[in-house]
């Protein structure tokens, strides 16, 4: 028996514009100021969901990545109020389109507004505002994505990628934390075979494949990830402040080094393509 079918469809193309927000805080050293330590976060979120249950259709994104966006603003304010300037310049980038596929970071690395090869490291801040409530541990069962069991504790944060490309960046990141606020750094997701593939899922990725050593601070997936319920009232502001201060100190240490962190390791092959 022979059957036939006819299929027709219409399509349209629409262009929409967005932008990265970029600022440069000039360093104090006449030579080293030509190099930059980059600080970044993405300021977009997934927008609205008309099918979300309840009256709130806005996916608020307080943690993802309002927390990182505010952290970069706080670092910029601290630089502006500091009585001294770091030796290297500080490049602050609020990336657009991360949720669409790291669009802003990809674009900035292809069409930078600075000499991108003079960026000595990129410090990425994406979700630093949530802490595990021991009374609300939702475990990840089979087929269930939203859970809390991989959310970090109040003094804990995941650090991803800091030791993957540069031994120096890894040592500075770890040493600065140990010397000051002593967060519990969790390197669980440095595993090249991480099934969650977090190394690929935020803006630092495009800096890394561009040869720039990176470090990524991340609190972990929780029950409100990519939901309308990711709201500001659930943020652990003390933790967010502590992580931000630690990143600021790490940035300052990198800016003062006599030589840039050497890239002395190659990314594992499985980490070079999304």
Top pLDDT among 93 and 274 is at 93
State the average pLDDT over residues 178-201.
94
Structural contact between residues 49 and 210, judged by C-beta atoms closer than 8 angstroms: no
pTM of the model: 0.92
Q: Please tell me the predicted confidence (pLDDT) of residue 193.
A: 86
Look at residue 236 and tell me whether its pLDDT is greater than 60: yes
Q: Please tell me the predicted confidence (pLDDT) of residue 228.
A: 86
CA nearest 138: which of 33, 227, 211? 227
State the average pLDDT over residues 107-112.
98
Q: Please tell me the predicted confidence (pLDDT) of residue 140.
A: 66
The string of DSSP codes covering 151-203 is S--TTEEEEESTTTS-HHHHHHHHHHHHHTT--EEE-GGG-TT-TT-GGGSST
What's the CATH fold of domain 21-271? Answer: Aminopeptidase (3.40.630)
pLDDT-derived band at 126, boundaries 50, 70, 90 = very high
Q: What token pair was written down for 235? A: 């943020």
Look at residue 55 and tell me whether its pLDDT is greater than 90: no
Q: Please tell me the predicted confidence (pLDDT) of residue 4.
A: 76
Q: Please tell me the predicted confidence (pLDDT) of residue 274.
A: 66
How far is C-alpha 162 from the chain's CA centre?
Answer: 12
Residue 58 DSSP label: B
Q: Please tell me the predicted confidence (pLDDT) of residue 146.
A: 62
pLDDT-derived band at 58, boundaries 50, 70, 90 = confident
């Amino acid at each position: 028996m022979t059957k036939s079918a006819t299929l027709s469809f219409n399509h349209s193309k629409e262009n929409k514009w967005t932008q990265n927000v970029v600022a440069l805080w000039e360093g104090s050293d006449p030579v080293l100021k030509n190099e930059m330590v980059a600080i970044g976060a993405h300021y977009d979120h997934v927008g609205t969901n008309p099918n979300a249950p309840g009256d709130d259709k806005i996916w608020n994104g307080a943690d993802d990545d309002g927390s990182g966006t505010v952290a970069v603003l706080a670092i910029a304010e601290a630089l502006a109020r500091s009585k001294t300037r770091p030796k290297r310049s500080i490049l602050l980038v609020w990336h657009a389109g991360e949720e669409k596929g790291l669009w802003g970071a990809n674009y900035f690395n292809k069409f930078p507004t600075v000499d991108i090869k003079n960026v000595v490291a990129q410090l990425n801040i994406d979700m630093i505002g949530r802490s595990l409530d021991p009374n609300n541990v939702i475990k990840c069962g089979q087929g269930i994505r939203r859970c809390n069991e991989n959310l970090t504790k109040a003094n804990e944060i995941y650090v991803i990628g800091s030791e993957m490309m540069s031994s120096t960046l890894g040592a500075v990141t770890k040493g600065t934390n140990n010397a000051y606020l002593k967060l519990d750094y969790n390197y669980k997701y440095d595993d090249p075979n991480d099934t969650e593939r977090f190394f690929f899922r935020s803006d630092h990725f495009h800096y890394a494949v561009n040869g720039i050593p990176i470090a990524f601070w991340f609190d972990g997936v929780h029950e409100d990830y990519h939901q309308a319920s990711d709201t500001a009232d659930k943020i652990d502001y003390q933790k967010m402040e502590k992580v931000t201060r630690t990143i600021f100190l790490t940035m300052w240490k990198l800016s003062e080094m006599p030589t840039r962190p050497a890239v002395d390791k190659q990314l594992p092959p499985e980490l070079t393509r999304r």
